[in-house]
Amino acid sequence: MNVEKKWYALYTKPRWEKKVDNVLTKKNIESWCPLQKVERQWSDRRKVIEEPLFKSYVFVHISEEDKTNVLRTDGVLNFVYYLGKPAVIRDDEVNLVKTYLLEEDARVSVQSFSSLEENVKVMIKSGVFMHNTGRVLRTANKRVYVRLESLDQVMVVEFPAAHVARV
């Protein structure tokens, strides 16, 4: 029996992303909590730590039959819904973020899509996003905002403005 698996976004309790990812993995459920390295300053030292890229989100690659088991996981509040159904994340979006996070100087911050306005359509000319098109929602200080539509989130990616061409 061939069961089709899809990527879904889960909404977790605040600051439970890593714990939920760990518990799901122990349950043999394919999960992914994207992390990025961030330098933090304490009163006596600086330290590089790994923080979740999307606050209160964990991604799972599951079939329909696994949904109940996932929801019964401690720390999981619910699936992220889009248009009244659990949001399905396209494989290429997941792979794009995974590939970008592997780059040495990858810097990403996330904002709610509702706080930005649409602008012009562009094509990325260089880097891991090369040949991808999207809407520049806002630009400032060499930042280009790329929308991950199925999450209704915006991924902020820093790179030189010369790497973007208007379509």
Question: Cβ–Cβ contacts within 10 Å for residue 89, how many?
Answer: 22
Query: Is pTM beyond 0.85 here?
Result: no
109 shares its domain with 82: no
Q: Summarize the confidence of residues 58-78 as an average pLDDT.
A: 95
Please give the tally of structural domains in the chain. 2
Residue pair 115/109 in contact by the 8 Å Cβ criterion = no
Q: Summarize the confidence of residues 2-22 as an average pLDDT.
A: 93
Range of the domain at 30: 6-89
11 shares its domain with 78: yes
Q: Which of 58, 89, 120 is the last residue of a domain?
A: 89
Comparing 21-25, 63-67, 122-126, 145-149, which segment has the lowest mean pLDDT? Answer: 145-149
20 shares its domain with 84: yes
What pLDDT score does 116 carry? Answer: 37
* Percentage above 70 pLDDT, the chain: 61
